[in-house]
Amino acid sequence: MKQSRVRLYVDHPLALGQSVPVSQTQAHYLFAVMRLTPGDVILVFNGRDGEFPAEIKQAGKRRGLLECQAQSRPLVMPPDLWLLFAPIKKARTAFIVEKAAEMGAAKIMPVRTDFTNSERLRRDRLQAHALEAAEQCGATYVPEVTDLVKLDQLLTDWPEDRQIMFCDETLAGAAQTLADNSSQKWAILIGPEGGFSKPEHTRLRAMKQAHAVSLGPRILRADTAAIAALTLWQTTLGDWA
């Protein structure tokens, strides 16, 4: 028997003594790629019940069975932070989703802005990236990746009590940064390569929930901006403090 470093997301209830079937893809990974055998112990989580060591009970070519031991870590929710970003090229969009999950965003929302030009979005693929990121970074929670929504529509229905950290490239170089704020609910908004349109900019500047911030004196690419913004938010208002 060995304690493996493998950490797997499973879409199944977890509790002490609970049997958990593994999918065909997971069976392939666990038994063919990682060469694990019955008696070996891995870690599993489902985004709801925390993390559990689980012993391999059956290892087949296409299926397998695990059994949960005592919970190793409780569910830890990230701060109530959404990341809104305009999708860019496929690989960079996937990168943003992966990093947002690692950095502790609670929800990841691709938005269509006036200057967004991206191919069709594969929500399921992006969700899988968030899941893999959670598996490898030790998170017990997996952020939801939503379908592409129009920024315009989103702002029309924007909740009264959710603040927006509006990353405004026109402020590059200004000393405007994130001020302390007691609100618990936040969203970070990152624009596309072309930046925000004039009407979007005007509208955002007029919203009382929006806080325009600069991310320093250089214009960052959207993927860099997303990580910088998440870092700034987490250190100022989030769970790094």
For residues 79 and 238, is the Cβ–Cβ distance under 8 A? yes
Cβ 212 to ligand SAH shortest distance, Å: 8
DSSP 220: P
Interacting residues with ligand SAH (CB under 6 A) = 167-169, 171-172, 190-191, 193-196, 214-216, 218-220, 222, 225
Q: Please identify, using beta-carbon distances, which residue of 49 and 200 lies nearer to ligand SAH.
A: 200
Cβ 201 to ligand SAH shortest distance, Å: 10
For residues 186 and 162, is the Cβ–Cβ distance under 8 A? yes
Q: Please identify, using beta-carbon distances, which residue of 27 and 188 lies nearer to ligand SAH.
A: 188
Cβ 33 to ligand SAH shortest distance, Å: 38
Q: Please identify, using beta-carbon distances, which residue of 51 and 114 lies nearer to ligand SAH.
A: 114
| Residue closest to ligand SAH, measured at CB | 191
Cβ 56 to ligand SAH shortest distance, Å: 45
In angstroms, rounded to a whole number, what is the distance separating the alpha carbons of residues 24 and 8?
13
State the DSSP string of 47-89.
Answer: SSS-EEEEEEEEE-SS-EEEEE-S-SB---PPPSEEEEE---S
Q: Where are the alpha helices (DSSP H) in the chain?
A: 24-27, 90-103, 123-137, 151-156, 198-206, 222-236
Q: Please identify, using beta-carbon distances, which residue of 53 and 195 lies nearer to ligand SAH.
A: 195
